[in-house]
Structure 1
Amino acid sequence: MIEDFECLRVDGDVVHRAACQVIEEVPLSIFINGRHFTTAMISPQMRREFVAGHLYSERIVSQVQEIESLEVEGDVARVIVTNPIRAVVPRRPIVSGCGGIASFLDEARLPRIRSGLTIRMEQAREAMEAISLSKTHIATGGVHSVGLFDRSGPLTIVEDIGRHNALDKAIGIQILKGEEFDFGRMFAACTGRVSSDMALKCSVAGIPIVVSRGATTGLAISIAQRTGLGIIGFLRGKRLTVYSNPERFEIG
């Protein structure tokens, strides 16, 4: 996941050669029932989890039982699903992302999150602290961390070059466990901004809350207001900003 490259480090008038640790980025082409669906640029670990989570958050499957087979060999993933027609997506407006892929926004199909989950500000801060301990980020500065938590603590924390990829991997871990899960009892924490693709993926999965140490976007807030997603941004120390559905946060 980490590669060493020769580089020049400059500090004022001091210049020296060094070995710089850089995060690895690879393509992953996904084929659904023999047809190319997308090629994503991701961090190389947890490719199977990424594919499962991506198909779930993009509404190609609604449960893991709809994935008949999932094989990853090198930079190619081959999936057989029970309803491949969902993967035939017409061109639609592309919403913002930070990697090689993006979600599509269909205004008529925005979901409604059916969860009464609330969290305390202390839980939000603890989640942000937990995802900020990434050794890979400390070494390279090149990955985002995303965690899924319930009210008792962390369920899974993953990393990727793209925050939306990391969210897909976190979702994929849960649905591939083969156990009963309920995203309505979980909340997400991420190191990057909450853009529209992140808000849409959380909403589709039914994750009711996302917290971030970064900013959000106007379209993300618009999606959140319509789906019931609570967004906290700029969570740093004792400071934070609640952008949508403040009833989900127990302030004080």
Structure 2
Amino acid sequence: MENNIFEELAVLEITKDESGCRLSATGKKVITETFLKIILNGMELITISCLNQQQEELVIGFLYNEGIIDSLQDVKNISFNDKIPAVSVELKEGIVPGNQYSTNSITSSGGRYHINPPAQNQYEALTSKITFPLDGILDLMAAFITKSEIFATVGGVHSVLFYTPDCEILTEDIGRHNCYDKMTGILLKSAKKYLSGRGIVFASGRISSEIMAKIIRIGIPVVVSKSTPTAAAVKLAREHNVTIMGYVRNTGGFIYSCPERLLVSRLCNSN
């Protein structure tokens, strides 16, 4: 684990027993928050509140999910400056992001201003016919919950796992949206985007409509969350043929859309 993702701070610990509450001085690891600038074609585009790791992958995924690029081939140069900190991206000639992008900030919760989503034609209904055994998904979720080393050590992060039988990509960040952008960036940077139509995403946090848009954009057919989807996310998933599962543990959960991708074994027959 990288040393620059948390700080050791002096805190007061509260303990309570039958005699009442006591305070004691101690040290506590606290997750760090970095404000990363994205500089696009020499102009500052946006500042993202994020974890101090996988900066280039985060920016590549962000630019793709925002519809600024359609592939890594649209990027001429990318570099990270840890002194600012900033990621500078130069697009190839002829790739124009448009005037709708202006300097603003994205918080760790994913809130953003003035950044428009990709054009509607960049959201295509998924045609993947792949299926997954339901009991296998429940087992994978149980394993996923224990995979975040940062959460186990420090806390304060969300995590996302892209899974196929031959490829696993785990991303962690203080912002849920950043986890998906990192996942997308890694798939693009490693030339593994072709795997997206065969994969599942496991998520520790809520699935909002903005996150569902990222799932649709990269083309992953199944998303499984420990938490809940929003109603808007479910509507998007149904419109674009994405399977959503929510409140999933190793003992069960709920299916909100496209159940036909899930194979029910004799051990978990449907009623």
With structure 2 as the length reference, what TM-score do the two structures score? Answer: 0.83
Shift in Å, 1:225? 1.1
Shift in Å, 1:89? 2.7
In 1, are the aligned partners of 2:100 and 2:116 still within 8 Å (CA)?
no
Return the match for 1:47 from 34, 51, 55: 55
What does 1:17-56 correspond to in 2, within 5 Å? 17-56=25-64
TM-aligned CA distance change 1:8 to 1:87, over 3 Å: farther
Higher deviation after alignment, 55-64 or 214-223: 55-64
Q: Deviations over 1:134-164 (max 9, x none)?
A: 12101222011111111x2652111111121
The 3-state SS of whatever aligns with 1:86 is: coil
Shift in Å, 1:239? 1.7
Higher deviation after alignment, 97-106 or 139-148: 97-106
Distance 1:104 1:129 in 2: 36
For the aligned residue pairs, the C-alpha RMSD in angstroms reads: 2.3
Distance 1:192 1:179 in 2: 24
Consecutive unaligned residues in structure 2, runs of 5 or more: 266-271
Distance 1:167 1:106 in 2: 16
What does 1:1-252 correspond to in 2, within 5 Å? 1-12=5-16, 13-74=21-82, 75-82=85-92, 83-89=94-100, 98-99=109-110, 101=112, 104-105=116-117, 108-109=120-121, 110-133=123-146, 134-150=148-164, 152=165, 154-178=167-191, 181-252=194-265
In 1, are the aligned partners of 2:66 and 2:117 still within 8 Å (CA)?
no
TM-aligned CA distance change 1:171 to 1:86, over 3 Å: same
Q: Deviations over 1:30-57 (max 9, x none)?
A: 1111222221111011001111111112
TM-aligned CA distance change 1:194 to 1:104, over 3 Å: farther
Larger Rg: 2
In 2, are the aligned partners of 1:131 and 1:157 still within 8 Å (CA)?
no
Amino acid at match of 2:8: D
Consecutive unaligned residues in structure 1, runs of 5 or more: none
The 3-state SS of whatever aligns with 1:228 is: coil
Identity %: 28
With structure 1 as the length reference, what TM-score do the two structures score? Answer: 0.89
